[in-house]
Amino acid sequence: MLGNFFTAVGSLFQFLFQRKVLPQTAAVFEALAESITPLPGNPVSAGSERDKYAAAYYIYTLDHYVSLKVCFKPSTFGLANAAAKMLNMAAKQLIDSGKNEHPADSAFASAHGMFAALHTKDRCRVISLLEHLQVDLAGLPVPFYKNPGTVLAVVSILTMLGSAGHYSEWTGYGATRSGPPAARKLVQFPAGWQQVGYPGPAKGYHGLRGCLRDKFSE
């Protein structure tokens, strides 16, 4: 009981004051990106340059998502570390409940966390467990601890962020991606656009095929 209390308090302090991105946080989001949008013909992309881009996208978004007033001052609450921990804890719960379909790589888990050690489909199973609140919420870190609303608010956007990060222009920003939004410049043709045959923005197209006659009766 007392142990739980101290764990919760520790988690709260870490959430409020931990500003640095933890090593396992990057590993979790690289693994998530690999599960959602793997590089074609490359079933294991974790650790690739593209996954580093994708992880940066997740981390920036989650760390700038929530701003609240605390002691008369607006403060931004970084969610990336806590969300990564939530995914690792939920991954552990998936394994403990025997719901993973593929064995986890335990050697990989010790360095990169349990989520990244799962097979890509089992990582989606972890998201699914969280989306349906089929995890022990008391085992999650602050601000997700016993807080289904916060869990859903974050988990519901994770898959979307993965695809938006990959198929938008984000991967074309190169090193400028880590700068403020106004400083980002397209330095290369985005990988996602290339994969899907999107030529990039144009000023217009000669695509007109007429108009259905619009003679209104009134």
- Give the residue with the Cβ less far from other proteins, 22 or 186: 186
- Give the residue with the Cβ less far from other proteins, 19 or 215: 215
Shortest reach from residue 166's CB to other proteins, in Å: 8
* Residue 3 DSSP one-character state: H
- Give the residue with the Cβ less far from other proteins, 105 or 131: 131
Q: Which two tokens stand for residue 63?
A: 């760390």
Rounded Cα–Cα distance for residues 193 and 3 (Å): 50
Shortest reach from residue 3's CB to other proteins, in Å: 27
Residues facing 66 on adjacent strands: 77
- Give the residue with the Cβ less far from other proteins, 6 or 215: 215
Rounded Cα–Cα distance for residues 216 and 155 (Å): 47
* Residue 57 DSSP one-character state: H
3-state secondary structure of 55: helix
Shortest reach from residue 12's CB to other proteins, in Å: 15
Rounded Cα–Cα distance for residues 53 and 68 (Å): 28
Shortest reach from residue 159's CB to other proteins, in Å: 4
